[in-house]
Copies of this chain bind each other. A is one copy, B any other.
Amino acid sequence: MIDTRERILDTAEKLIGEQGYAATSLRQIIAEAGVNLAAVHYHFGSKEHLLDEVVLRKSEPVNQERIARLDLVEASGEPLSVERVLEAFMAPMSETADQNPQFVRLMGRMHAEGLMPGIVERHFQPAIGRFLTVMRKALPGLPEEEFLWRIHFMIGAMAHTMCGAPDYTRVSGVPGSFRERIDRLVAFLSAGFRAPVPRGQKIEVE
């Protein structure tokens, strides 16, 4: 059989995006792809490694674009705008998302099943490292510890917004592009990153 490997990848991407990783058995994938069970283990070694290849194929271009845009922002000269750095990191994701619903579905499944941390560690580290470097330059006055916590808050909000609960758009009636989500998120996060640093046990701003 020609292209056994590609047919497994394509079918796996489709089924895992539709049903999730845990709910999709290798036997279902091989039945729909018309290949033998052992061929999966020959080409990929395990179900987990198969997933890795499926994700890598789609996420690699996004992360390349992220790094390219971050390089551009950094080269534009300081002082860097927090908004611009956030935009450079998030826009490639939203643009891919708006054009490729299947990719969004897949990443949403990964997030919903708690598989994102491992995937991020294996495939997203270079782009994230680049982002941290440039973002740090945009916030020179923020204490390092506070900076890291705020990055942490950002990651949570971003993951939940890009990968989780897309049904929230129903509320307004309009479908709602990812581009719009990102605009809202960037405004929210920029304000958060610029917030005064809390001191002492209780915060008494207001």
Give me the interface of A with B, judged by CB distance under 8 Å. 22, 81-83, 111-115, 117, 144-146, 148-150, 152-161, 164-165, 168, 171-172, 179, 181, 183-198, 201-203, 205-206
Find out whether the CB atom of B187 lies under 8 angstroms from the CB atom of A197: yes
Chain B residues near A148 (CB-CB < 8 A): 168, 171-172
Nearest B residue to A179 via CB reads B201
Chain B residues near A159 (CB-CB < 8 A): 156, 160
Find out whether the CB atom of A187 lies under 8 angstroms from the CB atom of B195: yes
Interface centre among A83, A114, A117, A148 (most CB of B within 10 A): A114
Find out whether the CB atom of A203 lies under 8 angstroms from the CB atom of B188: no
A206 to B85, CA, bound (A): 12
Find out whether the CB atom of A114 lies under 8 angstroms from the CB atom of B111: yes
Chain B min CB distance to A172 (Å): 4
Chain B residues near A172 (CB-CB < 8 A): 144-145, 148
Known: A149-B188, A157-B157, A189-B192. 8 other contacts (CB 8 A): A114-B115, A149-B181, A152-B161, A152-B165, A153-B160, A156-B156, A184-B198, A186-B203
Find out whether the CB atom of B203 lies under 8 angstroms from the CB atom of A153: no
* Selected A-B contacts with CB under 8 Å, 10 pairs: A112-B117, A149-B168, A152-B160, A153-B161, A153-B184, A156-B159, A188-B192, A188-B193, A188-B195, A190-B203
Q: A157-B154, A157-B157 are in contact. Are A146 and B184 (CB under 8 A)?
A: yes
